[in-house]
Structure 1
């Protein structure tokens, strides 16, 4: 054994560790010098010397070999049973602070402008404690399972000895919390919450089977009493409703919204595919972003957050269109039914997904990144499930579902919508005036916040850019997201009146030209921000931040108005394609599950990826295929039955005579 190893063994011996761990660590070191296979497998699956590119940031996340590590079995005891198994952990490389190491830390972390990206991944930045620097890296270590998480650092420091000697430093690493795993560590055992979820699934599945068989043998079920509850869960009813394709659109139905909803959802999923694709571990983390920001074809993805504004526009249209059409049929607007229906319509499916993430999800996979994805989801969902179900998660930093912020903003806008709906029903001119006043207030708030806080034009992804405050004060802030919703409410009122407006061909052509020009300008002007010669101007940023949502809503609003009023041409034929209807019904379920499908793949990842457009679109197609059966299952088991029950409980009465009189 070399003097270096003997010295390191001596250091380990004087460290505080339990006897079994200390003996196993010594056997591990001795096994390396004796060329024991299990010992070299343990070392081989760990990070000894960081590999990969420095300027690309690949070295920041070193996953080692997860499967090789957990397959390690130590030497046998007297009974012939292995004394320990391989324990896989992530550690943060640390070293004692000196003038030389301070310069190293500055060079590796700050000068590369990657500290923020790593901090977001690990929830920590480079820290200094008692003259020890802890870098926010995620490097793999394989150690004996007899060692506690803290004692695993002894193995990490030993393995990093060669790397530390190059820089003349003494390693003093720490284990990332909740990152360790070995076979038989007890993490595979279901807890009470998970068993409750499994019981819930069994009960729902059993009731669906009973309901389906009941309707199969007794097809003419009366719509009364408990039989309504039976029929609501029947697969015959719900599958038939899902795949039913109308020969002609129902009167008053805005069929073009189905296509717009589906296309916007695909835009959202594609944007999230790229966003998660460039998260660590990635071989070309920096260059792929710099390359993408110079490509015109990538502008729709870099400004893909406009797809969310489209959903806000659609929500605003329907929230006023439906009660106004109901009023024309003699039905009164009941604010309490409106609130109850709105909450119960989407909350059960959201609650089931939240419950699943906080219980069963973590047990169905394992991998080097699994604790970052599934483990983090379980922890956050158990702690912050209530803001999700109360729809205030946009104001909570760590929310259960990352995409739930949109549901919270949309629900909050819907809860405030009667402030506008009631005036539109009784005094339309006052209602439209109120929309105008609120739009001006929204414009002023967006302009002022962007200017004062010196926020960027919109959500941007550039290495080294801190967007956390922007997300809190602007992106997820309900009043600052209300502009498309308000435009949608005004458009919903206009569409509900069903006036036959005759436009000359030149006016229609002008409307399409202006709509296309405005939307394309908004999408592609984001390239200005990513230009290498771009200089930030707070006034320009404030104007873009406050006007682009209004312009986008007006541009898309024209498309909807033109399609509904017969001026859509081929665009209406595409958006009103009848096969969009089933996908539109599944859109909410798709939205709920798609990020978890993406995170599931990330958690199972064993190696760093190389990102290109082909790989991203390959993943995008795979996510759509995987999301489809999961969304159908969620729709048939939860969403469709709940909608059937709500329709029965809040069924509309027979319409009275249409109201007449002068319009106010």
Structure 2
């Protein structure tokens, strides 16, 4: 096992150094060839001359749709996005020319010195102009450049002073640049258009082209046609299956159970089953509350994590994030470890139903396929949509952000489906939050090394395997964190299996304990149970606080920081695990009542779908913004409520219409005859995946909680990571 692992990690490391998005220019979400084809230097000069000297009305349209000096530079607003839709809607005919708008972004470094002299405009005969106010427009342009010069001068002064950001202000501003939108004729380059007004390069003014957009520049690719055909087929199956189901139920007045295949895609039956309110006796009901709260917390954290890409008052938000009272948002990344813990818990708890040591070894392929194939349908559908039609659902000046996701999915869809993106392309993932699924799949890959000993039935061998597994995971994580000195915290720590594995092994211990006491009455003093529950709740708050402190600049020593990174996630998982234990065994009190509320059942059942769709939806929303968004906590919470509501709706649809029927189709391939022992699952048709908090259509009488694990639920984060 060790040699293949070393070879795999080495190959993945080499690939991560060789693969870049620039290696896939044909997969770019915008038609680069179109942008090259429309350029015409001679026509550009004619149109610029006509606008400048013969038709100020057309010039006004281009100037009005372009950028102004960013408002709030001192508060972190370094962008002015102009008016994207107004620019691209320009279409004017004059003489034998057609003037059409092209929207471009340029980057202007703050760290530059130049001297813009007073602009000397030629004297025009106003009688030849179509607009008498043309000279006033020139004066406005001169004022505009003066304002730009003053703004950059202000930026230069800031470099020589200190501010609320501390002593690193100079370094910060020297790396900053203004992002400005300009609207120019589509036949021109930015250099031709800008220099027609003022020869900025002769004055030492430096800028870089970022990107340009044209009307209808989203070209069709093969993935678009594949998506249309596949989604049409799925829609047709849903229509036929639902019609067949409703015909039998409401017209013939009899059940259609005898024709299971024809009703697999029935929206009526699948939705009714998914939205049921009943719960089965013997289920771990408290997991519903934990899972639902965790995914909601993930979405909340990602809402605050994504908005900086379009925020107008960045420094205000940065100050808000650094306040300790806001760890209810900044600590959301620890929620990921809740799902890793649940993953380990359920793989142990359910494996006792399905396997003996011998059957585990003989059906190892089904053990792996059972996890991967049940994750596959929604993941594949979301990836296909992101790589194709997602690029067409909206547009705007910020759409390059969402288009970046489209590009990465077109280039690296395969690493996401193979669950290796955290090794091969950690900084360019297809669907940012799927890093969690990759690590979870990798942890399932090694879990039989522990499961085999647990299934043998010996307490000594079981506890030895669990303790050794947890010890090795903690030791490897600690050594890795102490020995690997890197500034790339995301790739080497946040999405790394070595640092993320301890909560999974903690969960395996919790799952084993729950399985041991499943049919036994656990006797604990209620005072002791309440005391340790309060201690564990306090530990979760402490872990949040330590995680907050560890994110502060210049806090503590590197050794302290490394210890926090190494152990906080395992302690968090153990604390949540204790709460699960007392709730399952009747000592949870009001906590158990709260976690078992009916309100959590639907979000828990569709949490996997929620996890996969929420981040892309956020990117689409913010990428469609007209201008920068001013950050306030109430407005962001309002957006969060909207994201959460729409996420639940979309997750219900993909779960009921895609996950359920495909899970039933795959069931015959993955069926494993359970060992002769008291079953945890009553119905032989029950589809219960140790990671699936999505109950399949055939799960009618099972006792195991239906859980399909989402993560971070990053996202994230993104990251929610981010990218989460």
Give the TM-score taking structure 1 as reference length: 0.82
Note closer, same or farther for the CA distance 1:444–1:657 as it changes in structure 2 (3 Å cut): closer
Secondary structure in structure 2 of the residue aligned to 1:254: coil
- In the other structure, the counterpart of 1:144 is 185
Secondary structure in structure 2 of the residue aligned to 1:51: coil
Alignment length, in residue pairs?
Answer: 590
Structure 2 CA distance, aligned partners of 1:617 and 1:217? Answer: 44
- In the other structure, the counterpart of 2:83 is 65
Contact (CA 8 Å) 1:449, 1:474: kept in 2 or not?
Answer: no
- In the other structure, the counterpart of 1:562 is 582
- In the other structure, the counterpart of 2:49 is 26
- In the other structure, the counterpart of 1:450 is 481
Note closer, same or farther for the CA distance 1:75–1:30 as it changes in structure 2 (3 Å cut): farther
Secondary structure in structure 2 of the residue aligned to 1:304: helix
Q: Which deviations, in whole Å up to 9, do the C-alpha atoms of 1:361-390 show, x marking residues without a partner?
A: 1112110011221x1112111110000000
- In the other structure, the counterpart of 2:27 is none
Please give the residue correspondences for 1:507-656 in structure 2 after superposition, counting only pairs within 5 Å. Answer: 507-529=528-550, 534-651=554-671, 653=673, 656=676
Q: Which moved more, 1:575-584 or 1:269-278?
A: 575-584
Note closer, same or farther for the CA distance 1:386–1:331 as it changes in structure 2 (3 Å cut): closer
Secondary structure in structure 2 of the residue aligned to 1:84: strand
Secondary structure in structure 2 of the residue aligned to 1:88: strand
428, 436, 439: which one aligns with 2:467? 436
- In the other structure, the counterpart of 1:372 is 401
Secondary structure in structure 2 of the residue aligned to 1:278: helix
Note closer, same or farther for the CA distance 1:310–1:109 as it changes in structure 2 (3 Å cut): farther
Structure 2 CA distance, aligned partners of 1:585 and 1:229? Answer: 23
- In the other structure, the counterpart of 1:180 is 212
Please give the residue correspondences for 1:171-210 in structure 2 after superposition, counting only pairs within 5 Å. Answer: 171-176=205-210, 179-185=211-217, 187=218, 190-210=220-240
262, 281, 284: which one aligns with 1:250? 281
**Structure with larger RCO (C-alpha < 8 A, sep 6+):** 2
Secondary structure in structure 2 of the residue aligned to 1:346: helix
Structure 1 CA distance, aligned partners of 2:666 and 2:652? Answer: 20
1:92 aligns with 2:110: no
- In the other structure, the counterpart of 1:358 is 387
Structure 1 CA distance, aligned partners of 2:575 and 2:480? Answer: 25
Contact (CA 8 Å) 2:76, 2:314: kept in 1 or not?
Answer: yes
1:238 aligns with 2:270: yes
Structure 1 CA distance, aligned partners of 2:160 and 2:495? Answer: 28
Contact (CA 8 Å) 1:454, 1:538: kept in 2 or not?
Answer: no
Structure 2 CA distance, aligned partners of 1:535 and 1:524? Answer: 13
Structure 1 CA distance, aligned partners of 2:421 and 2:322? Answer: 31
Contact (CA 8 Å) 1:522, 1:552: kept in 2 or not?
Answer: yes
Q: 1:332, CA displacement in angstroms?
A: 6.5
Q: Which moved more, 1:396-405 or 1:422-431?
A: 422-431
Contact (CA 8 Å) 1:348, 1:638: kept in 2 or not?
Answer: yes
Q: 1:527, CA displacement in angstroms?
A: 4.1
Q: 1:544, CA displacement in angstroms?
A: 1.1
418, 423, 433: which one aligns with 2:448? 418
Q: 1:137, CA displacement in angstroms?
A: 3.6
Q: 1:340, CA displacement in angstroms?
A: 1.2
Structure 2 CA distance, aligned partners of 1:566 and 1:454? Answer: 46
- In the other structure, the counterpart of 2:191 is 153
Note closer, same or farther for the CA distance 1:316–1:231 as it changes in structure 2 (3 Å cut): same
Q: Which deviations, in whole Å up to 9, do the C-alpha atoms of 1:137-164 show, x marking residues without a partner?
A: 42101010122xxx22322455677xx6
Contact (CA 8 Å) 1:160, 1:171: kept in 2 or not?
Answer: no
Q: 1:345, CA displacement in angstroms?
A: 0.2
Contact (CA 8 Å) 1:233, 1:637: kept in 2 or not?
Answer: yes
- In the other structure, the counterpart of 1:470 is 489
Structure 1 CA distance, aligned partners of 2:353 and 2:110? Answer: 69
1:56 aligns with 2:75: yes
Q: 1:580, CA displacement in angstroms?
A: 2.0
Structure 2 CA distance, aligned partners of 1:608 and 1:572? Answer: 43
Note closer, same or farther for the CA distance 1:141–1:330 as it changes in structure 2 (3 Å cut): same
- In the other structure, the counterpart of 1:37 is 57
Structure 2 CA distance, aligned partners of 1:304 and 1:277? Answer: 15
Contact (CA 8 Å) 1:96, 1:171: kept in 2 or not?
Answer: no
Secondary structure in structure 1 of the residue aligned to 2:106: strand
Secondary structure in structure 2 of the residue aligned to 1:503: coil
Contact (CA 8 Å) 2:549, 2:555: kept in 1 or not?
Answer: no
Note closer, same or farther for the CA distance 1:522–1:360 as it changes in structure 2 (3 Å cut): same
Gaps of 5+ in 1: 1-15, 119-124, 127-134, 456-465, 660-664
Q: 1:523, CA displacement in angstroms?
A: 1.1
Q: 1:295, CA displacement in angstroms?
A: 4.0
1:264 aligns with 2:287: no
Secondary structure in structure 2 of the residue aligned to 1:93: strand
Q: Which moved more, 1:583-592 or 1:534-543?
A: 534-543
Q: Which deviations, in whole Å up to 9, do the C-alpha atoms of 1:202-241 show, x marking residues without a partner?
A: 1111111111222233454456xxx443232122321121
Q: Which deviations, in whole Å up to 9, do the C-alpha atoms of 1:226-260 show, x marking residues without a partner?
A: x44323212232112101222x5333x21111111
314, 319, 340: which one aligns with 2:369? 340
Contact (CA 8 Å) 1:45, 1:68: kept in 2 or not?
Answer: yes
- In the other structure, the counterpart of 2:410 is 382
Contact (CA 8 Å) 1:91, 1:153: kept in 2 or not?
Answer: no
Contact (CA 8 Å) 1:594, 1:627: kept in 2 or not?
Answer: yes
CA RMSD of aligned residues (A): 3.2
Note closer, same or farther for the CA distance 1:657–1:595 as it changes in structure 2 (3 Å cut): closer
Q: Which runs of 4+ in 1 moved over 6 A?
A: 94-118, 328-333
Secondary structure in structure 2 of the residue aligned to 1:593: helix
Note closer, same or farther for the CA distance 1:117–1:653 as it changes in structure 2 (3 Å cut): farther
Note closer, same or farther for the CA distance 1:157–1:599 as it changes in structure 2 (3 Å cut): farther
Structure 2 CA distance, aligned partners of 1:564 and 1:650? Answer: 29
Note closer, same or farther for the CA distance 1:65–1:320 as it changes in structure 2 (3 Å cut): same
Note closer, same or farther for the CA distance 1:319–1:657 as it changes in structure 2 (3 Å cut): closer
Secondary structure in structure 2 of the residue aligned to 1:485: helix
